[in-house]
Amino acid sequence: MECSCVVNMPTKHMRSSSSFLRFLLVFSLVSLNGQAFTGTYGVNYGRIADNLPPPGSVVTLLKAAKIKNIRIYDANPDVLTAFKGSGIEIMVCLPNELLIEVSVGEQRAMDWIKENVQPYLPGTSIRGISMGNEILGVTPVEIWEALLPASKNIYTALDRLGLTKEVQVSSPHSEAVFASSFPPSSCTFRDDILPYMKPLLQFFSQIGSPFYINAYPFLAYKSDPEHIDINYALFKSNKGIYDAKTKLHYDNMFDAQVDAAYAALEKVGFGKMEVIVSETGWASKGDDNEAGATVENARTYNKNLRKRLLKKKGTPYKPKKAVKAYIFALFNENLKFGPTSERNFGLFKADGSISYDIGFTGLVPSSATSSFISFKGIGLSNSLIFTSATLLLLVLTL
């Protein structure tokens, strides 16, 4: 960690220049605020399924794909143990159903940290705790009320354990928190959400946490395919939209959704807070009434999004701030409720093959044959076999 350099620097050098000291302080704070995310590309590792590979095999798959950031929706001990020493940075989640319980007592927050976070550090790179998922505007109001005190209690527990420089506290929101988002500059938070959102933003601003938003051009297109150009949603050539207030042109919906979040934050006094996309993706299969849910569209969206993120570019409104995003999701999840699309967001299938080609290498081909190793039923004890298979695939692709 860069901030350790300040601690270990010889005293005589620390005294040499007050301006240099101020530089180091600012540098360490900047490094701290960004430590929950390395680079610009991550994935969500959901596990609502009965056919997924064991976590140890998932580590091998992620390393082969060179994916360095993941989010999980709990703090599963098998996952956290398997990721020890992998170098992959993880954001764990305190589930929605625990927020009220954690909000009413600091000791319950401390117990949760001691059970689900502290034992795995530093071997497992837990870099953040997500306080629930899509709370404001979606869940019952009593959970809205619990979000801020629960966040404060978790942060206090981390602080008492000396972990706030390693583990960030935040909470991802859905587009439901906005009253309007088109054009981007007009975006505002809903009036009924503001009494909960503003103090939450104040707290996250104080501790240096970003604003996380789940942004899905797929869902926007699915809800209004007659009026939204699918090429605009898929990063393909199109006429785009023009925001008259900012005089900015948008050639894709993803950038517009990110800048809409920046506009809403600015209106309530938090214009300097970074926006990170905590979920985005495109379903490869859907019901008859789910427009755009095809393999080709999913491939196009995720391939173009990956290219866009790897360029480390900003948005039209924040051109110098590289956009960061977690893709939803790593695997198709066959036990999820809801429409067919909910079970078909995966970049990979359960056997480790790719769902479609966006530049990743699966551990088995998409039409699996006996000449490749399937990782069904194989656990940590066979990690050397998977590592060898991965190295062979990487060499063959060079």
Catalytic residues: 134, 279
| The total number of residues written for the chain in this structure | 398
E strands of 45-197, at which residues?
A: 69-71, 89-94, 126-131, 168-170, 172-173, 178-180, 188-189
Q: Which two tokens stand for residue 139?
A: 């869940």
Q: Show the tokens assigned to 394.
A: 């990487």
Q: How far lies 291's CA from each of 252, 287, 295, 346, in Å?
A: 18, 8, 12, 18
Helix-helix angle 141-160:194-207, to 10 degrees: 10
204 half-sphere exposure, CB direction, 13 A CA radius:
31
CA 175, 181, 187, 188 torsion-angle sign: negative
Q: Which two tokens stand for residue 155?
A: 């942060």
Q: Which residue has the tokens 């981007």?
A: 184
161 CB neighbour count, 10 Å cutoff: 16
Say if residues 108 and 153 touch (Cβ distance below 8 Å): yes
Task: Please give the helix or strand (H or E) that residue 190 lies within, else none.
Answer: none
| Strand ordering across the sheet containing 89-94 | 168-170, 126-131, 89-94, 69-71, 41-44, 325-328, 275-280, 211-214, 172-173
